[in-house]
Structure 1
Amino acid sequence: MKPLVRNAVLSSYVELSQSLAIDPQALMKRVGLDPVGLAVQDRWISGKAVTELLELSAAASNRQDFGLLLAERRRFSTLGPISLLLREEPDARSALELLVRHEHMYNEMLHSRLSEAHGLATLKVSLELGETTGARQATELAVGAFHRFLRGFLGSRWQPLSTCFTHGPPEDFGTHRRLLGPALEFDREFNGIVFYASDLDTPNNLSDPLLRTYAQQYFESIAVTRETTELDRVRELIEVLLPTGRCSIDQVACSLGVDRRTVHRHLAARGETFSSLLNSTRTQLAEQLVANPRRSLTEISGLLGFSAPSAFSRWFRDNFGDSPRTWRAERNRRQQRQQRDGAPQRAGVAGPVPN
């Protein structure tokens, strides 16, 4: 399957596009991305589609620096849960090594490598899309984001010895020099940043050793390995696509950058079909949503991808044995009984000691 990236990679994309007088929704739809889905930053989308979107946006706005302008709007939190631990790393080296080691948690097409030799540190950045396609903007976004990350630890006045790109120079160097410094090299053999290795020893004065322990424990509890299965990917995309009303195997295959036969083959290897996975995912979400009395059944129907509440009610009855309204009411009654049954026991334990 083609690599995926977190929605957060497009953080501030809509705002940047609007500031440059281009239509972000129209461009996103051209590459098969859902503008509404950007609100959920931890969802995964096609890396190929994001790469194409950035190229289209640069062309539409006539800005060769579009990827860098997006990198400029990056915040630490864009990295997701790993940002909690990065903030508490004792120095720049351990923070950068951690970011590189767990890059698969936020961007599957990003492959970076940090090396040190002769007093110099070289951070090489590459994007593996699974096919040959223009990726100038995505590359500059990635390199720009790393540059911004390093400045967060080394100070806003820090400058690398050089920032390198394999593609040619832009017509206007203004944004590149403002964001990356004057030492720019194009048509090089790699994309990345070269700087003094001693910069990596810069301590993080904001690090709290005690808080770092807590952050490590939390991160270890949610960290995932690189072996995310195709089943996991399809399930994630089903959850993303259901509210759009366009959750089909063709749409999932498009998001993954493969054809529908490939999706069928991967699911069959795990004893699943697209229909069975769609139904199980929908069932799990329905139980969580209907249990919440603050959500209307009409709203839930839309979130689960049904064209009408009546279709949702029929499906729910087939899977849960009751209408959603009856199921919700019965669940509330059970909870109230449990609370009543538990109340005397708690009162007895906490009650006054008899004389």
Structure 2
Amino acid sequence: MRPLVRTAALSGYVELCRSLGVDPQELLKRVGLDTAALTVQDRWISGTAAVQVLELSAAESGHEDFGVLLAEFRRFSTLGPISLVVREEPDVRSALEMLIRHQYMYNEVLHTRLSEGDGLATLKVDLRLGEAMESRQATELAVAAYHRILSDFLHARWQPLSVWFRHSAPADTSAHQDAFGPIVEFDREIDGIVFYADDLDAPNAMADPLMREYARQYFDAIAVPKDTTAADRVRELIEVLLPTGRCSIEQVARSLGVDRRTVHRHLAASGETFSSLLNVTRRHLAEQFVANPRRPLTEISDLLGFSSLSGFSRWFREQFGCSPRAWRGSRAS
């Protein structure tokens, strides 16, 4: 399967496009995404689609600095649940190491390494997409996002020694100067940030020592294993897509950046089918939703992706041996 990213990677995308006079919906549609998908920050989407839409947006808007501009919309919380733990690490080194160690939880495209030598620290950013494609905007977005994170860890006026990009400079570097200062350089050996290694030992300005243990316990409870299976990915997408009424293997395949045959093949390798995962996920959600007497059955039918209440009722009776209303009544008695 191709790498995925959380929709939070495109935080601020719609707003930025509109401010630059381009239609975000049309551009997203061209790569198989839509604006509705971006409203749920924890949804996973194709990493290649996210990279492609940034390049399209830069070309359409005439802004070679689109990725840097998009980074201005980033907040620390954009990282998702892991941000709650990283925020409470005692120093910059431990916070960065945790962020890098668990980067697969928020971005499977991003591969970051931290190295030290001769009193310097280098944060190297790589994007691994599994195929050759232009990724200038995504690279600049990632580097700019890390720059903002380091500034949060240290202080707002912190500056690295240099910010490097392997690609050539844009015609107008003013946005890069605003974001990084005069130390940004192009046509270098790596994409990344170079700063004094001593900065890694600085106290994390955001940390509250009393919160660290609570944050760690929370993270241990929600952390996902690195070896997430294809079935796990499909199951997560099914749960997200059901309420939209567009939960199909074709839509799941588009979200994963592959074709339907590839989804079938990966599921078959683990003894699953799309239909079996769809049914299991519906059963699990139905038990939760129907047990809540405050949820109307028509609403539950919509949330589970049925086109009518009668269709939902027939399916429920086949699965549980009684109507949803009777099942709800038996739980209440």
Conservation of the 8 A alpha-carbon contact between 2:44 and 2:255: no
Amino acid at match of 2:253: A
Query: Which residue of 1 is the match for residue 85 of structure 2?
Result: 85
Conservation of the 8 A alpha-carbon contact between 2:152 and 2:205: no
Query: Which residue of 2 is the match for residue 46 of structure 1?
Result: 46
Conservation of the 8 A alpha-carbon contact between 2:153 and 2:206: no
Query: Which residue of 1 is the match for residue 8 of structure 2?
Result: 8
* Correspondence list, 1:147-296, <5 A: 147-296=147-296
Conservation of the 8 A alpha-carbon contact between 2:244 and 2:305: yes
Q: Following the alignment from structure 1 to structure 2, what is the Cα–Cα distance between the partners of residues 74 and 137? A: 15
Query: Which residue of 2 is the match for residue 120 of structure 1?
Result: 120
Q: Which segment is superposed worse, 28-37 or 157-166?
A: 28-37
Q: Supply the RMSD in Å over aligned alpha carbons.
A: 1.6
Q: Following the alignment from structure 2 to structure 1, what is the Cα–Cα distance between the partners of residues 236 and 69? A: 29
TM-score, with structure 2 as normaliser: 0.95
Shift of 1:224: 2.1
Amino acid at match of 2:308: A
Q: Following the alignment from structure 2 to structure 1, what is the Cα–Cα distance between the partners of residues 136 and 44? A: 22
Amino acid at match of 1:200: L
1:69-94 residue CA offsets vs partner (Å, 9 max, x unmatched): 11111111111111111111111111
Q: Secondary structure at the match of 1:218?
A: helix
Shift of 1:307: 2.1
Shift of 1:101: 0.9
Conservation of the 8 A alpha-carbon contact between 1:290 and 1:328: yes
Shift of 1:205: 4.3
Percent identity reads 70
Question: How many equivalent residue pairs?
Answer: 333
Query: Which residue of 1 is the match for residue 75 of structure 2?
Result: 75
Q: Following the alignment from structure 1 to structure 2, what is the Cα–Cα distance between the partners of residues 159 and 153? A: 12
Q: Secondary structure at the match of 1:130?
A: coil
Q: Secondary structure at the match of 1:190?
A: coil
* Correspondence list, 1:95-134, <5 A: 95-134=95-134
Q: Secondary structure at the match of 1:163?
A: strand
Q: Following the alignment from structure 2 to structure 1, what is the Cα–Cα distance between the partners of residues 134 and 282? A: 37
Shift of 1:206: 4.3
Amino acid at match of 1:325: R
Residues 28 and 117 from structure 1, CA distance in 2 versus in 1: closer, same or farther, beyond 3 angstroms?
Answer: same
Shift of 1:112: 0.3
Please identify runs of 4+ aligned residues in structure 1 that moved more than 6 A: none
Q: Following the alignment from structure 2 to structure 1, what is the Cα–Cα distance between the partners of residues 10 and 294? A: 30
TM-score, with structure 1 as normaliser: 0.89
Shift of 1:236: 1.0
Conservation of the 8 A alpha-carbon contact between 1:9 and 1:78: yes
1:101-141 residue CA offsets vs partner (Å, 9 max, x unmatched): 11011001100000000111110001111111111111111
Shift of 1:14: 1.8
Larger radius of gyration: 1
Conservation of the 8 A alpha-carbon contact between 2:153 and 2:205: no
Shift of 1:294: 3.2
Amino acid at match of 1:140: E
Q: Which segment is superposed worse, 308-317 or 111-120?
A: 308-317
Q: Following the alignment from structure 1 to structure 2, what is the Cα–Cα distance between the partners of residues 93 and 257? A: 35
**Does residue 326 of the first structure (1) align with residue 314 of the second (2)?**
no
Query: Which residue of 2 is the match for residue 338 of structure 1?
Result: none
Q: Following the alignment from structure 1 to structure 2, what is the Cα–Cα distance between the partners of residues 206 and 127? A: 28
Query: Which residue of 1 is the match for residue 309 of structure 2?
Result: 309
Q: Which segment is superposed worse, 289-298 or 269-278?
A: 289-298
Q: Following the alignment from structure 2 to structure 1, what is the Cα–Cα distance between the partners of residues 61 and 305? A: 34
Shift of 1:215: 1.1
Q: Following the alignment from structure 2 to structure 1, what is the Cα–Cα distance between the partners of residues 201 and 174? A: 31
1:184-235 residue CA offsets vs partner (Å, 9 max, x unmatched): 1112221101111111121124423231112112112222232111110111
Residues 283 and 234 from structure 1, CA distance in 2 versus in 1: closer, same or farther, beyond 3 angstroms?
Answer: same
Amino acid at match of 2:92: A
